[in-house]
Amino acid sequence: MNFGIAVHGGAGTMPRKLITPEIETACRNALKKAMQSGFAIIRDGGSSLDAVEAAVIELENFELFNAGKGSVFTNKGKHEMDAGIMDGKTLQCGAVAGVEHIKNPVALAKKILHHSEHILLLNDGAEEFAKMHRVEFADDDYFFTQLRYDQYLKAKNKDIIVLDHVDDKKLGTVGAVALDKEGNLAAATSTGGMTNKLFGRVGDSPIIGAGTYANNRTCAVSCTGHGEYFIQHVVAYDIHCLMEYKNMTLQQATEHVINDKLKNINAEGGLIAIDTKGNICLPFNTSGMYRGWMKSENDFFTAIY
Ligand code: ASP
């Protein structure tokens, strides 16, 4: 029986000399811990949906990744977080955008999936829904990290919006995809967005079909990269369509989109994807992407470059 999970902690330009061994070890450990928590759920017969949520919560709690704690700052010096989650069996999905005080935005997205007739809730409305469903809140201090704040001041001074500046040790968006023992697929993505982004800007992560998509007919996908391009090219859904309508394999579809289509227009990023047979692909067109997969306790992989 094939089942498994893959995770990412964002793609970007990652000059090797700037990632210290300590940072590399901390990131790989965070990826492994996230995979272990998701994997334990599917190993014990739980759903891929619960597994991707559990994995993304771990990654949101790890402050070096740009999601939950450690999220980047908007041009107003605040945190506005986006997250999306999708169940490949039912095609139910839930998403939040621009939330400021939700400890784990992916958990709120999952509450919306289960308990709302809507799919995407924004800032205050999302937070009101969170209160009703007893989702955990955190104050500004919880999300603050000096590292992100310094990056923000630097970007603001230069008047630029930054996708990745690993030279300043900013790491990326997080996500997970999984296949469970019942053959069900799920995907989840969570992010703080881009440093110095215009307040109110929403990226691809919570846009179903752009940054996040799962469908039991084909695959589950979680993206990272320059969100505007991922929205324009409906990247996650495009992978599904290439498989469903063009009969491409997961490998062909993901390579085509990341290393052909997006690369040709200088759209930086990558994705993680898993299909109904448990094949996993982790392509990226940047110098690195924090990524990993786990198929059993002893069969796992993590990498950055
Ligand atoms: N895709 C995210 C966004 O545009 C950023 C990232 O993946 O680093 O919001």
Q: Which residues are catalytic?
A: 173
Cα 1 to ligand 1 centroid, rounded to whole Å: 34
With respect to residue 183, please indicate whether it lies within any of the assigned structural domains.
yes
Ligand 1 atom nearest residue 66's Cα:
8
Q: Which residue has the tokens 């996908």?
A: 221
pLDDT for position 170: 46
Residue among 74, 189, 198, 204 whose CB has most ligand 1 atoms within 8 A, to mutate? 204
Residue among 173, 229, 262 whose CB has most ligand 1 atoms within 8 A, to mutate? 173
With respect to residue 163, please indicate whether it lies within any of the assigned structural domains.
yes
pLDDT for position 163: 59
Regarding the beta carbon of 204 and ligand 1, being less than 6 Å apart is answered yes
Indicate the number of domains in the chain. 1
With respect to residue 297, please indicate whether it lies within any of the assigned structural domains.
no
pLDDT for position 167: 45
Coil, strand or helix at 32: helix
Q: What is the CATH number of the domain that holds 90?
A: 3.60.20.30
With respect to residue 152, please indicate whether it lies within any of the assigned structural domains.
yes
User: Which domain covers residue 90, as residue numbers?
Assistant: 4-286
With respect to residue 303, please indicate whether it lies within any of the assigned structural domains.
no
Distance, in Å, from the CA atom of 301 to the CA atom of 34, rounded to the nearest integer, reads 12
Ligand 1 atom nearest residue 172's Cα:
8
For 219, residues 6+ apart whose C-beta sits below 8 A from its C-beta are 177, 185, 239, 240, 243, 250, 253, 273, 274, 275, 276
Residue nearest to atom 9 of ligand 1 (CA): 193
Regarding the beta carbon of 74 and ligand 1, being less than 6 Å apart is answered no
For 163, residues 6+ apart whose C-beta sits below 8 A from its C-beta are 12, 194, 225, 226, 268
Tokens representing 136 are 């955990």
Cα 201 to ligand 1 centroid, rounded to whole Å: 11
Regarding the beta carbon of 98 and ligand 1, being less than 6 Å apart is answered no
Burial of 167 (0-12, 13-18, 19+ CB in 10 A): middle
What string of pLDDT tens digits covers the 305 residues of the chain? Answer: 789 999 999 998 777 777 788 889 999 999 999 999 999 999 999 999 999 999 999 999 999 899 999 899 899 999 999 999 999 999 999 999 999 999 999 999 999 999 999 999 999 999 999 999 999 999 999 998 888 888 888 888 887 776 554 444 345 799 999 999 999 999 999 999 988 889 999 999 999 999 999 999 999 999 999 999 999 999 999 999 999 999 999 999 999 999 999 999 999 999 999 999 999 999 999 989 999 999 998 999 999 99
Cα 105 to ligand 1 centroid, rounded to whole Å: 15
With respect to residue 304, please indicate whether it lies within any of the assigned structural domains.
no
pLDDT for position 164: 54
Q: Facing residues of 178 across strands? A: 5, 186
With respect to residue 300, please indicate whether it lies within any of the assigned structural domains.
no
Tokens representing 8 are 């990412």
Regarding the beta carbon of 227 and ligand 1, being less than 6 Å apart is answered yes
For 288, residues 6+ apart whose C-beta sits below 8 A from its C-beta are 11, 12, 13, 14, 166, 304, 305
Residue among 189, 191, 198, 223 whose CB has most ligand 1 atoms within 8 A, to mutate? 191
With respect to residue 298, please indicate whether it lies within any of the assigned structural domains.
no
Cα 192 to ligand 1 centroid, rounded to whole Å: 8
